[in-house]
Amino acid sequence: MNILSVDVGTTSMRGILYDQNGRELTLVSRLTPQLFVNDYIEQDPLSLKQKLFEIIAEISQSFSVDAISVTAYRSAPALFTKDGTPLTNFIMWQDTRNKEICERVAPYNPTVYQKTGAKVNAVFTASKITWFKEHMREVYDQAYKALIVPDYLINTMTGALTSDRTYGSRTGAMNIHTLKYDEDMLTLYNLDEEKLPPLVDVGSIVGYTNEAFGKATGVRCGVPVISSGGDQQNSALGLGELDDSALVINCGTGSFIISLVDQPYLENEAMICNVSAIPGRFVLESNVLASAAAMNWMLKELFPELWNDGNPDFEKFHEIVGQSVPGANGVRIVPLFQGCGSRDWNLDARAGFTHISLGNTRADLGRAMLEGIAAEIVKSVRSLPEKSRNVSKVYIGGGLTKSDLFDQILSDMLGKTLVRYDDSQATAIGAFISAAVTLGVWPDYRTAFEKAREGARTYVYEPDKEMYAFYQSVVDDTEAVYEALK
C-alpha cells in the first residue's frame, strides 16, 4: 500500500509518497506564496487547490496512490459556499487584523484558558471568523462554512465538510475537556456554530476521493482520505514524541516546543494545551513566532550574496559568523519581529538590537541572531512542567536546524542533548504514521514510527557545560531587553 502525505506549510505544499514500510518513493513540492495586502496576510484558496492538483497529478503519473493523509498549518480560515466555492481568501495565522477582537475577549482569559487550553490570542481561528462576521457581514451570512486549509483540501478531494479535533483545539472555541464546541466560547466570540465544520477524531477516514478529483489528478475514485491533524502535532509524532519522555522542538517559520501528556494540563497560562496527533493524548505547546523567518530576514538584508532565492548557503554563513565568538562580542538581538508568542502573547512586541558599537561586524549580528532565537526557545522550554523540562534528550527538526551552528548553540543554551534526523520531512512522516495505523498497516504508532525511521541517519549535538553556564547570561540579557522595550 502506498500512502501519500500531503503536507501544507505556510509557504510551500509537499506531496510525499511512502510505501507501507515508510520508504519515500517520490516527493513533489510547489511554492504557495502569501498575499500581502496592506497589513493583511492572506492566501488564495484556488491557488492552493491548483497546487494540490499539480502535485498529485505528477505523482499519480508514475505511482499508485492507495491512501491520502492530509496535514497542514492550523489557523487560517476562509468562508465557503456549500459546494466548496471560496468566498474569501484565507486569513493567515500571522495576520493580526483580529487584534481588537482579541482585546475585547481578553478580560475573560481565566475562563477561556480553563475551557480551551489557551489564552486569547490572535493566532487562533475563532477571532478571525469573528472578524469576517463584523467586517464582511454579507459574505459571512452568505457562507455555509468557515474552513481552514486542510478542511478545504479534504473537501476538494472528497466533498466532506469536517475538521479534526487537533484543529478544533486551535480555534479558541472548542472545549479541551469535552472536545466539542463550547457554547460559552461561541457566545464570547459571537459565532454561530452552524458556520463551523463538525469535529471528528484525529486520524479518521473523513471521506474517499470522488470523480471530479480523480479527473483532475488521475487518482482513482474511492481512495481513503485521512485527516492526520495539525502540522506541529504531526511533526512531533514524526520526530518520535510517542510518550512523555521526549521533547520536540520544531524550528520552521516559527519555533514550536511540544511535549506529550495524557490529559489536559492547565496550570501555566504560558502553555497551550492542544489535542495530539495520537488519539486520546494531548500536547503542551509553546511557540516563538519568528525563527527561520527572522533568520531569513537577516540573510536577505545583511547577507544577500548567501540567500540563493531562499536556499541559504549555511556553510558560507558559518564561515562568516565563525569570525565572531560566543556572546557575539556583546551584541544582543531579541528576534520578536512578529510579537512575542505564547509565553506572553504580546503582539505589540518587536525585534530589538542592542549593545552594537562601531567595532561590531555583521558576523556578530549573524551570531547574535542565532543566539537570540535560541534564547527565545529556552524561555519557552522554561514554561513547561518540570517533567517535560527535565528530559535529557530533545528531538529537533525544521528548516533552521539545517544550521549545525544553530543546533550547537541551542544544545549548549539548553544544556541538553539534541537529536536531528537527516530526513527533514518530520511532518509528512507523522502523517504517514497516522494513516498507517488508521488503515491497519501497522498495529500501533510506535511500530509505525520505527518502520518509518528504520536506518535513518541522525546527528547528535552534545552540550558543553561551560557554555551552558555562559549562555544563561545571554538568555537573561535578552529578556531584560524585552522587558525594557515592553
Note the pLDDT tens digit of each residue in 303-337: 999 998 878 888 899 999 999 999 999 999 999 99
| pLDDT value of residue 399 | 86
Mean of pLDDT values over 235-250: 93
Q: How far apart are CA 40 and CA 155, in angstroms?
A: 26
- pTM of this prediction? 0.91
Q: Smallest Cα–Cα separation from 482: which of 369, 356, 332, 363?
A: 332
The backbone torsions φ and ψ at residue 257, rounded to the nearest 5 degrees and listed phi first, read -110, 120
Looking at CATH, the fold of the domain delimited by 3-232 is given as Nucleotidyltransferase; domain 5 (3.30.420)
Average pLDDT over residues 241-270: 91
Average pLDDT on 343-359 reads: 92
What integer pLDDT is reported at residue 39 of this predicted model?
Answer: 86
The cell for 228 is 492526520
What pLDDT score does 222 carry?
98
pLDDT for the residue numbered 261: 93
Q: How far apart are CA 294 and CA 376, in angstroms?
A: 12
**Per-residue pLDDT tens digits for 184-195:** 999 999 999 999
Contacts of 441 (CB under 8 A, 6+ apart): 1, 3, 20, 435, 448
Looking at residue 164, its pLDDT comes to 98
Paired strand residues for 199: 163
Does position 386 have pLDDT exceeding 90, yes or no? no
Contact 257, 287 (CB under 8 A): yes
The gap from C-alpha 322 to its chain's centroid, in whole angstroms, comes to 30
Distance between CA atoms of residues 268 and 135, nearest Å: 34
The answer to whether 397 and 206 have CB atoms below 8 angstroms apart is no
Among 72, 171, 163, 166, smallest CA distance to 130 is for: 171
Contact 369, 222 (CB under 8 A): no
CA distance 264 to 98: 27
CA-to-CA distance for 393 and 415, rounded, in angstroms?
10
Per-residue three-class SS string for the chain: CCEEEEEECCCEEEEEEECCCCCEEEEEEEECCCEEECCEEEECHHHHHHHHHHHHHHHHCCCCCCEEEEEECCCCEEEECCCCCECCCEECCCCCCCHHHHHHHHHHHHHHHHHHCCCCCCCCHHHHHHHHHHHCHHHHHHCCEEEEHHHHHHHHHHCCCCEEHHHHCCCCCECCCCCCECHHHHHHCCCCHHHCCCEECCCEEEEECCHHHHHHHCCCCCCEEEEEEEHHHHHHHHCCCCCCCCEEEEECCCEEEEEEECCCCCCCCCCEEEECCCCCCEEEEEEECCCHHHHHHHHHHHCHHHCHHHCCCHHHHHHHHCCCCCCHHHCEEECCCCCECCCCCECCCCCEEECCCCCCCHHHHHHHHHHHHHHHHHHHHCCCCHHHHCCCEEEEECHHHHCHHHHHHHHHHHCCEEEEECCCCHHHHHHHHHHHHHCCCCCCHHHHHHHHCCCCCEEEECCCHHHHHHHHHHHHHHHHHHHHHC
At 132 the pLDDT is 98
List the beta bridge partners of residue 332. 354
Q: What is the mean pLDDT of residues 419-436?
A: 94
Q: Are 213 and 153 in contact (CB under 8 A)?
A: no
> What is the chain's Cα-based Rg?
22
In the block, cell 500581502 appears at 36
Least confident of 122-126, 285-289, 311-315: 311-315
N-term to C-term CA, the chain: 54
User: Which pLDDT value is given to residue 368?
Assistant: 98
pLDDT at 392 over 80: no
